[in-house]
Amino acid sequence: MAVHTSILFLLLGLGVLLADAETGWTQEVMSPYLGGILARNLLPLVIGIPIVTSGLFLSA
């Protein structure tokens, strides 16, 4: 699969998740309470750490 196609599918999936912020998983992330704040702070790490570690693994 081409890189631009993969990025497009990721953005499409993210758009589907964020289309209705009043229900489901996005309700927890957008919450003003401690759980929502923690989820917003940890989400970049959850996405970034596997990408960085797999890049380091492939380059070694």
Residue 48 token pair: 């970034």
Output the pLDDT for position 25: 79
Give yes or no for residue 36 having a pLDDT over 80: yes
| Phi, psi (degrees; rounded to nearest 5) at 22 | -90, -10
Residues counted in the chain: 60
User: What sign does the CA torsion over 20, 49, 42, 24 have?
Assistant: positive
Given a cut of 80, whether residue 58 has pLDDT beyond it is yes
Average of per-residue pLDDT across 38-48: 92
* Choice between 38 and 14, residue whose per-residue pLDDT is larger: 38
Is residue 18 very low, low, confident or very high in pLDDT (cuts 50, 70, 90)?
A: confident
Instruction: Fill in the DSSP letter of residue 26.
Output: H
